Every structure is written in C-alpha cells, then in structure tokens.
Amino acid sequence: MKKTRILILSGIALSLIYGFSFFNSTTNPEKDKLLIEVMSYVLERGHYDPETINDSFSENVFMNYLESMDGQHRFYIQTDINNLNQFKTKIDDQIKESKLEFFDLSYKKFVQRQEQIKAFYKPLLDRPFDFTLVEEVNLDYQTMGYAESLSELKNVWLQYFKLSTLGVYTDKKEEEKKKFENDSTYVMISNIELEKKARKITRENMDLFFEVRQDLERKDYFSIYLNAIATQFDPHTYYFAPREKELFDTSISGKFEGIGARLQKKNQEISIVEVISGGPVWRDKLLEVEDVIIKVAQENEEALDINGMRIDDVVKLIKGPKGTTVYLTIRHVDATVEVVPVVRDVVELEEAFAKSLIIIKDGKKFGMIHLPKFYVDFKDYGERNAASDVKAEIEKLKRDNVEGIILDLRNNGGGSLQTVVDMTGFFIKEGPVVQVKSTGGKKQVLEDKDSSITWNGPLILMVNEFSASASEIIAAALQDYKRAVIIGSKQTFGKGTVQNVVDLNKIISSNTHGDLGALKITTDKFYRINGGSTQLEGVKSDVVFPGRYTYIETGEQAQDNPLSWDQISPANYQPWDVNRNFEYALERSKERIANNAYMILIDEQAKWIKAQQDDTLYSLNYEDYIEERKARSDQTSKYDKLNKFEASFTLQTPNADLPKLEKDEELKEKRLRWKKSLVKDIYLYEAVRVLEDLAQPQNKINNLAQIKK
C-alpha cells in the first residue's frame, strides 16, 4: 500500500517538474496563482475519483465558498452577492486560467464590510436594550437571506447583540434573585444596571472577536477559497496552509518539538493558558498559567518584541529543534519581569496516546484500553505509534491477569493505516485485514502475516457515530472474523477512504514564492475483507446503544460531496472459531438494554434533541425568553437522572503504570478524573457485562440455557 501511493505521487511530481518549467517563465508568478495551478493539477491527476471542473462544479464552489466565508449572513449584503453572481458559472474558467478576479472581489468586499461592522458595533452597544418589547430573532441561517442594505445589516447585528445580552442579563437576574432568597436584607441590583453589565460583556466579546480577526491575513481567506475548491472532490480532500500542515503532523504524531505550553492572545498580549505535562516548562517549573510573554530571543540574537504580533508567528519563534534554547522575557502574574531560558525538547501530548485501566466486577478482572486516534510519526514508524502502544497496554493487562479486554474507539477519527493493520494482527492468527483500491482501480489486500497473537481472549470494541476511518477498518475486520463484539451506535461514521498528504513544494522544480503548504487528497478507498465498503454505511454494531445522536443525521452521510458506497469481491479469510459464547452474549445484552430504565431515558432524550433542531426562533422579550428557557429546563431536568448513574465496578491502574504516576502528580490527577468519568459511563458498564458473558465457562452457559427452557 505504502509503495503504491509513493509511486502514484512520484508520477505526479515528475510530470509537474517538467510541465511547470514553461509555466513559470511565461505567466504571472504570483504565489496564489501558482497555488491554484499546482493544486488543481494534483487534484485532477491524483484524486481517487476526480470531479469534472465545469459550470456545475463552479456553482458548487461558489456556494461553498460563500457559506464558509459568511455562513450566518452577517457580513455580505445582497448587492455584494449580486455583484459576485457574475462569477457563479465562471469559477471553473478562473481555475483553469489561474485567475483571481472572483476571490479578489469577494475578499475586498468582505474586508470592507468587516471594517464597517467594526465601526458601528460599539455605537449599537452604547444604547440600552428594551427587553419588554415583543420581538424575536430567527437563527435559521440555511434559509435566511442576506440583508438588503447596510442599514438592514446593522439591524441583523443589533438583534444578535440583543439576544446575546438577553442571555447574560437573564443569568445575572437569576443570580440576584438567589442572593435575595438566601438573604432578605440583600439589595438587588436594578434591572437598568444589570442590562448595562450584560451589554458590557457582549461588547467585550465583540472586542475579542475582532481582535482575533485582526490577525487574519489575505492568505488565510485564500485558504478558505482553495478549500471551497478542494472539498468539491470529497469532504476529506483539504488544503493545508503551511501552519495548518504543521498542526496536522502534530495531531497525527501526538508530539512536537518546543517548550510545552499552549498560548493565547488577548488584548494584544500573548499569555500562557496551559503548561503541558512532561514538557520542558512543566519539568523545570519555568512558567505558570497567566504569565505573559513580552519578548522572544533565539541563541546569540537580540530579543524581539512580540507585542501585537500574530499568535501563529509567535509560536513559530518559540518552537524549534530539540536541544536548542529560546529566551523568553516574561511578565509574571505578580508583575515581576525576567528572562527565562527554555531548552526545547520533544513534547508528547499524553492525552493523545493509548492508556489502560483494570475493571474489577464481582471479583473478576477485565482490561480497558482507550485509544483516541491511530497516531504515528511519519518520519520514523519505529518511534512511538498507536500499534506499539496498544500492544504494550495489552501486555500490561495480561500481567495483571485480566479475563477480557475492551478496546475503546469512541470518538476515534482514525489516523495511520499501517498502525491499524498491525493492531488488528494482535487479535488474529494471520490473514487479510483490509482491501484497498487506489487511484486507477488497482486492488491490494493488506494482510497480517505474523502468526503470533498478542491477545486471544474475549474482546469487545466500543464505537460510536464519530469512530471513523482506521477505527472502522479494525472494527470491520474483527467483526468479519467474528473475533470481537462491536458495541455502540447504530453505525460508525462511514468514512471508507484513505488520504495522502502531498507537499506542494515538492511538485515544482523551482519555487521562489515561499512555502506553498500541502494538500490532503483522497487517493484510495478501502473495503472490508467481506467485500463491502464502509463508505457511508460505516460498521453496524452487533449491540446497538441508544445515544444522543440516534435521530440526528451524522457522519459521512451528513457531509457534502461524499464518495458513494460500493462493494468488491471478498478476500480469502476464515472466521474465528473460539467465541462460542458470541450469540449468547449478544442476546443477553440486547435484552438488558431493552429493559434498562437509563437506556430508555437516553432514547427519549435523543428524540427530544431531534425535535429541538427545527426550533430556530428565539424571543427577545424577557418574559417570553424566561418562559421558553424554563420549558426547556423542565424538559432537560427529566434527564438529570442520567447523571446519577454509577457503575457497580471498581477501577485500578495497571501495576506497570504505578511508578510513573507516583512521579507525575499532574498525570496522576488526570487519570483520577478519567476514572471518575468512567464510573458514570453506562455504555462502558454494559460493555463489561457483555465481556462477562463472553468469558463465562461453556458449561455454565449450557446450564443457564437448560434452566431457561
């Protein structure tokens, strides 16, 4: 699989090296035009199922771009849209000719409107709101038109401000009432003063809104335009600007080289909002949350004042290779100022990695492994990756003599294909794991060729609507082998495609315009070993839990431009023949769920949530607003019982992890909070009960069956 993709992309690169030598010498060398040319070339030749770039394509890009720029219709007005409509069926021509008239016009108009809003929002918030008037606002942006004039646009923002202020005002009024109820001598703040305070908060929020937007540059909006084009091919094809590519790599690998702190910009200052456990700042106790960074200096260089600088640019200055030193001029919370040298190091985001716990129920031990994503270091597969970490967690649990294992893949959006193939092999003797069709239709079967089995005992995979891609590969494979029970939502996300990241800088022979970024492009489609695709349909759970999203359209089917479902011939494989309790465990679980009061209540809540989706009208009258809010509160209070659930099991840390936790108080606290959340997890509790049934001795099951008869 890996070799196939490299060959495909190398072919594209070679074609472009020769193809663009003439282009570079005869046309406008502006970076944006070059980006469009390079990206469209790669899309047309490298995408699994390329779109035809025609008038219909143009209309879809037009609508997608406007939705991305101004989905709530709070910036453009109708005359702007009328002027842009001339390009509605011409964007395809603009792409082919590398022209930017449409983007330039839309961007300039957007900036103009943004400046006009920035000028009028403060005067609008200088005037008090009258919450006795009978008014309402419709937040159905799907059907809402654009304002006909700037005056009408002001009214749109005014209604938004009023709704926001009304929410704060209502909260503060409730606080005043409670203070009076607790102390009859308390003098409540007047409604006039409460409204003034609430309006001040709305204004502060808007100040922050525009402060963040002030950091956006033309290139940031151009990325939106490029993605309006890219996502027409499918929802997972995406352009990464240089900074986004770096963040993507960090999210996949779960680590980066830097100081180990998260930053935030507020009031033109860059402050520390989180110190990452395990990083150099945390390890040496150098900085604290709320410390403000004033200047940044590299080794043997003058310090650079970062006041007013874009946060992305500050991050670039601070991050750097392991072992190098960055000098930060810090204003601490106590107002003292000092220069703090920080030696950069590899920072691992522990919350992104696999971790495990031991579940003890009725004297029996079971293991649970939580895997948030299929992470990998693309530069060195031998470094920490999801497969090797899960294997290590299995070995820990085996040493603690667990009788069964739950692999929790809920909300796991996928990641590395190689790690999921390796991981599936831990649970089967050998055989095919997934079938892959690449650009051009070539089929390949990826197999586990290692006959050893890391875990041959009872196994459960927990999934939900947001388990996608690599999560679906392992779930589908283990379901087809009848190796594991799949428990969770009706179906998983339904992403049956594989993406490859193309560095656009390597596509052309010479580039004098700076970093072009990268394109994440769909190059492959994967299929179950039984021949069916997981695209759109996902993996259907063996045991279905009711959930908050049961009646809401989610997953791939809710995305724009998804690839279709299809199937191919099955691979040659033999189902697992050890799970003799499989049907027994499924039958027992379905019966418990059908009669569980909590599960019934969850299903009722899901239906109510679905009904709320269509309600987009909000009152701007205080009395009506609190009446509507009370009605919603009364309804939601019916579901408070769900928060009272506590599982009848205890949780323990694997013995192998105890020394590490004793040395790291912050990590220890995070694990404690994790344990507390799992005790409230009704789905995990049912998974444990299924695991109990899977682990039952066969003779006991036979006796129970006889008693039932």
Give residue-wise pLDDT tens across range 192-222.
999 999 999 999 888 888 887 888 889 999 9
pLDDT at res. 396: 97
Split at pLDDT 50, 70, 90, the class of 459 is very high
CB 524 within 8 A of CB 5: yes
d(CA 144, CA 129): 24
Split at pLDDT 50, 70, 90, the class of 286 is confident
Residues 327, 355 within the same domain: no
Residues 125, 218 within the same domain: yes
Mean pLDDT for the stretch of residues 428-441 = 90
Give residue-wise pLDDT tens across range 301-324.
888 878 767 777 888 888 888 899
**Domain with 212 in it:** 51-232
Reference 314, options 265, 387, 380, 379; nearest CA is: 265
CB 427 within 8 A of CB 459: yes
Mean pLDDT for the stretch of residues 616-632 = 89
* 233 backbone φψ class: left, alpha, beta (φ>0; ψ -120 to 50): alpha
CATH of the domain at 360: 3.90.226.10
Cβ burial of 607 (10 Å; 0-12, 13-18, 19+) is exposed
d(CA 697, CA 709): 19
Give residue-wise pLDDT tens across range 462-474.
999 999 999 999 9
Q: Both tokens of residue 671?
A: 């694990």
Give residue-wise pLDDT tens across range 418-430.
999 999 999 999 9
Residues 280, 372 within the same domain: no
Residue 40 lies in a domain: no
The last residue of one of the domains, among 199, 232, 265, is 232
Residues 194, 303 within the same domain: no
pLDDT at res. 232: 96
pLDDT at res. 10: 30
d(CA 555, CA 430): 31
Mean pLDDT for the stretch of residues 272-287 = 79
The last residue of one of the domains, among 348, 376, 403, is 348
What Cα–Cα distance (Å) separates residue 261 from each residue in 77, 161, 202, 264, 278? 41, 34, 29, 10, 10
Q: Both tokens of residue 632?
A: 């919603």
Split at pLDDT 50, 70, 90, the class of 251 is low
pTM: 0.81
Residue partners of 596: CB distance under 8 A and separation at least 6: 686
Residue partners of 335: CB distance under 8 A and separation at least 6: none
Cα dihedral sign, 60-62-66-68: positive
CB 416 within 8 A of CB 375: yes
How many Cα atoms occupy the beta-carbon half-sphere of 252 within 13 Å?
Answer: 21
Mean pLDDT for the stretch of residues 658-670 = 86
Split at pLDDT 50, 70, 90, the class of 579 is low
Split at pLDDT 50, 70, 90, the class of 8 is very low
pLDDT at res. 2: 31
Q: Which helix (H) or strand (E) holds 454?
A: none
CATH of the domain at 338: 2.30.42.10
The last residue of one of the domains, among 348, 374, 391, is 348
pLDDT at res. 698: 67
Give residue-wise pLDDT tens across range 11-65.
333 233 323 333 333 333 478 999 999 999 999 999 999 999 999 999 999 999 9
pLDDT at res. 509: 74
Residue 246 lies in a domain: no
Quick check: 252 pLDDT over 90?
Answer: no
Residues 524, 619 within the same domain: yes
d(CA 406, CA 582): 15
Residue partners of 197: CB distance under 8 A and separation at least 6: 168, 172, 189
Mean pLDDT for the stretch of residues 518-532 = 95
Residues 333, 363 within the same domain: no
**Maximum pairwise Cα distance, the chain:** 86
Residue partners of 677: CB distance under 8 A and separation at least 6: none
DSSP state of 482: T
pLDDT at res. 701: 57
Q: Number of structural domains, the chain?
A: 3
Residues 160, 278 within the same domain: no
Mean pLDDT of the chain: 87
669 or 40, greater pLDDT: 40
Residues 361, 321 within the same domain: no
Reference 390, options 378, 379, 405, 411; nearest CA is: 405
> For the chain, what percent of residues have pLDDT higher than 90?
59
Mean pLDDT for the stretch of residues 320-348 = 85
d(CA 419, CA 591): 36
Residues 410, 450 within the same domain: yes
43 or 6, greater pLDDT: 43
Q: Both tokens of residue 129?
A: 């709101």
Residue 321 lies in a domain: yes
Residues 601, 541 within the same domain: yes
Split at pLDDT 50, 70, 90, the class of 250 is low
Residue 595 lies in a domain: yes
The residue whose two tokens read 């509605």 is 88
Residue 37 lies in a domain: no
pLDDT at res. 29: 40
Residue 129 lies in a domain: yes
Residue 140 lies in a domain: yes
Residues 410, 334 within the same domain: no
CB 488 within 8 A of CB 463: yes
Residue 2 lies in a domain: no
Residues 318, 215 within the same domain: no
Q: Which helix (H) or strand (E) holds 376?
A: none
CB 470 within 8 A of CB 417: yes
